[in-house]
Structure 1
Amino acid sequence: MIPTVPIFDLLQKFDGETDSVPIFDLLQKFDGETDSRFSKNNFFIEKNPTIVTFPVKNLDLREYVHPDALEDNPVTRYNLVANICHQGKPHDGFYKAQVLHAPTNEWHEMEDLRVTPVLPQFVALSESYIQFYQRQDVLPDGTLDEALRQKCLQELNKIKAQAAPVDDVEDIFAA
């Protein structure tokens, strides 16, 4: 049986004594995630067969953004736009790219000159090596969707307001 691990487990680091979460001060328009597929022992290179499960849409990095930086980074969700996978053995294998064609919202798998359609469900189950995510507010021309940014800012402010301590509550039991 091939082991699986969620991408969120890889984003968390645990050294056996303390938990540490990577904190971003700035979320880029595009984010690349790499999975360690190969390791070298004393004799040869081994391939890690673990399947990393990851969302094709709505990868939310909110909990990995420093709280003070959320106003500058209100859009914390990403969609996968490309996935590079390795198949085969370390020295005899090959790479394939799975790419989203944005205008049609269809996925295609590319291996050398061969291009074939692929279902998003199969993209999420591949032996991923590198994933490229695009922040949801980035438009095809590279500009930002200000309406989405404002909506996310409003949601953020609503969350802050709900979490804020209430100081002006009248004490009905005071004499």
Structure 2
Amino acid sequence: MRTKFGAGLVGAMALVVATGAKADDCADLFAAATAQAKTPYDGTVTTVKKSGETTKNEVVVLGAKMYIQVAGAWQSMPYDAQGTADDMMAKAKTTKPTCQKVGSDTVNGEATTVFTEHAETPRGASDVRLWVSDSRHLPLKMEIHLPSGDVITQETHYDNVKAPAGVN
């Protein structure tokens, strides 16, 4: 069972992985998102609501578990890397995306290629900006502009990933 938070991340990543008008650039995004689904990581997810309200959550994906910290409390749930990748592909089929490489940047001192992706979803248009590591080919940062006006930013780390203390 996925929580609303976990399902939201899968849905957001589905916006990134679809193939579309710029097939080569979308293929690069798909490869990065698929690799991330199968790689241990931790990250900080910041949501800024249209109203200005801001929330921060932590996420750790390690093996067959996903850990999510919401309002200071850690929760664990089963995690299926292949299932997550399959979910992204299935959701991607419902969008009409365009993807573009728009430049280069650094995230935490690591060189990245920056992509944008625009998708038409059943809820409206969404725009994603994704920073993919040039050396690891994994997403380091993602910024999602949702039809609601909310903005979600995730910064991701792949080194020394550990389960949160005291959570099964």
For the criterion TM > 0.5, the same-fold answer is no
User: Which of the two has greater strand per residue?
Assistant: 2
Greater length-normalized contact order (CA 8 Å, ≥ 6 residues apart): 2
Q: Could you say which structure has the larger radius of gyration? A: 1
Relative to the length of structure 2, the TM-score reads 0.29
TM-score, normalized by length of structure 1?
Answer: 0.28
Query: Larger helix proportion, structure 1 or 2?
Result: 2
